[in-house]
Amino acid sequence: MRLSIDPSSAEPLFDQIARSLRQALASGALRPGDRLPPAKDLAEILKVNLHTVLRAYALLRDEGLLEVRRGRGTVVVSPSEKQIDPRLSQAVAHLLMEAHRVGLTENELIRLITRSFRANIGYDSISGEGE
Amino acid sequence: MRLSIDPSSAEPLFDQIARSLRQALASGALRPGDRLPPAKDLAEILKVNLHTVLRAYALLRDEGLLEVRRGRGTVVVSPSEKQIDPRLSQAVAHLLMEAHRVGLTENELIRLITRSFRANIGYDSISGEGE
DNA sequence: ACCTATTTGTCCGTATGTATG
DNA sequence: CCATACATACGGACAAATAGG
């Protein structure tokens, strides 16, 4: 896994790292189930601080790309095959269109979805994985 | 504005602060347009680190509740800016229904949204953020 | 146009806590 | 119990955006 970082860039380091990892995931260089190096190790390789890598990991975790857990490390999430349902993807496309129309940012949209999801489902079925 | 923090609680400090602020917003103690104290000041009041407060502010900004900007400070977003468009909320409800139908977990749904969001961003008209 | 103060943003280093194996 | 690895918090430094003199 080869990640290149430019300390002189205006783009924050944690964003650069996250973007590199996203690309590695998209290109298949990182595949589902693959374990990423411990943040401490990657930090030494990239010559950045531990927190900078942890922040990048956390970012991708919030995007649903990585599973990051204490003591265990960081693993690439396996994609579910459920998303190919045509009605679902149509609903997604429609939502994105509406979101763009009202100028929602990605973060705002994610928050909206998260809240709505929890509100609709209720908290009784979340016991599996929470905290 | 009276926020109470419990350092001995298991709940992270930045979460406690964010939750207190959320409640102040919900109760009307903090109203749209109100300016929050500089993070440094609030940190001294609560006897926590500056970064802890900044993290709480950033959290609420990502939720669309606050507008946080360098040099300018932190203000409560006006409701009109975050008001849910009926067509948007309808799209959200529809998506959640479809997602539930195919048994998507929250994490899977978030991943699907973020990926689609990035993939469908063809417009480089993101310059509208300033004013 | 310049300078200064304010305020958030990023990054670093260190310490300690917590979950996992 | 112990090692691993992420999570939180603290503190300090500097940068960048903003506001005001």
Residue B112's CB: how many other CB atoms inside 10 A?
22
Percentage of chain B with pLDDT > 90?
Answer: 63
pLDDT confidence of residue A131: 31
Classify residue B98: in a domain, yes or no.
Answer: yes
Q: What is d(CA A87, CA B101) in angstroms, rounded to the nearest whole number?
A: 10
What is the distance in angstroms between the Cα of A5 and the nearest Cα belonging to chain B? 22
Same domain, A78 and A89: no
Mean pLDDT score, B97-104: 92
- Please name the residue of chain A whose CA is at the shortest distance from the CA of residue B93: A116
Portion 10-69 of B in contact with A at CB < 8 A: 62-64
Q: Which residues of chain A have pLDDT under 50?
A: 122-131
- CATH code of the domain in which B5 resides: 1.10.10.10
Residue A120 token pair: 């609709």
Contact B102 A108 (CB under 8 A): no
Q: Which residues from chain B sit within 8 angstroms of residue A107, using beta carbons?
A: 62, 64
pLDDT confidence of residue B19: 96
How many angstroms separate the Cα of A102 from the Cα of each of A90, B57, B82, B87? Answer: 19, 24, 10, 10
Q: Answer for A57: CB within 7 Å of strand C.
A: no
Range of the domain at B89: 84-122
Same domain, B73 and B114: no
What is the distance in angstroms between the Cα of B52 and the nearest Cα belonging to chain A? 15
pLDDT in tens, B39-94: 999 999 999 999 999 999 999 998 889 999 999 999 998 766 666 789 999 999 99
Classify residue A127: in a domain, yes or no.
Answer: no
Q: Which residues from chain B sit within 8 angstroms of residue A121, using beta carbons?
A: 100, 106
Domains held by chain A: number: 2
The whole-chain average pLDDT of chain B stands at 87
